Amino acid sequence: MDLSKLEQSLGIVFKNKDLLQQALVHRSYLNENPSFSLPHNERLEFLGDAVLELAVTEYLYKTYPDRSEGELTSWRAALVNSQILAKIASELEIGDFLLLSKGESKDTGRGRQYILANAFEAVMGAVYLDRGYGASKDFVEKIVLKELPKILEEKLYRDPKSLFQEEAQEKFGATPTYEVLKEWGPDHAKQFLVGVYLDKELMGQGQGPSKQIAQQNAAEEALKRVESRK
């Protein structure tokens, strides 16, 4: 696969092209193509997640010396969540180069969002191995931290679960409860569907690779529903 267009989009020409290629291999692709020459991208994703978090943490620590640990933690979480990373991956057109199974390639919902976010983290890991931490930090500041002004201006660092709890207590005098409606998939790729309720009314549903993420997504849907009632 010719990855030169993706390298141009990333602003990085890789010395080891296999690292970039591996970052784009989803586990499902190998299930259908077991003889493929490279492993899937999950180890690179693991590494890239840590590099991304360190680069963002270092930037926030140095740039905002008067802010508390709690504030910086919220800002960092908003910058590296799956929604933002999937958006960035889409802008970089990473999805056009992903190697997926036929089934996964048809998914356009939240599952696709997580695949894109994970692929971005894997690319981050590939950048680190190929170019080192300095280049990785420059990449993060150029590609990821440009989202920070909007996050701060629109207070997107306040997570949906906390926001919905405040809204529910203020408007309805009730505290939301969360229930796992469904879970599926192997241990390494579990998915959860969670519902959020006010009393017995289902206010929103959310899916994710952990119960916590699914709860946040359910709260986000519930917030939109409450907003539409105003």
Query: Annotated binding residue at 58?
Result: no
Measured over the CA atoms of residue 131, residue 42, residue 86 and residue 229, the dihedral's sign is: negative
Catalytic residue among 32, 42, 49, 183: 49
121 is catalytic: yes
Distance from the Cα of residue 88 to its chain's centroid: 9
Q: Residue 118, annotated ligand binder? A: yes
Beta bridge partners of 198: 201
227 annotated as ligand-binding: no
In the sheet that 201-208 helps form, which strands lie side by side, from edge to edge? 177-184, 191-198, 201-208
Stated as kind and residue range, the H or E segment containing 195 is: strand 191-198
49 catalytic per annotation: yes
Structure token pair of residue 31: 């299930």
The catalytically annotated residue of 7, 42, 121, 179 is 121
Question: How many CB atoms are located within 10 Å of the residue 209 CB?
Answer: 18
Q: Which residues are known binding-site members for Mg(2+)?
A: 45, 118, 121
Give the residue numbers marked as catalytic.
Answer: 49, 121
Q: Which residues are known binding-site members?
A: 45, 118, 121
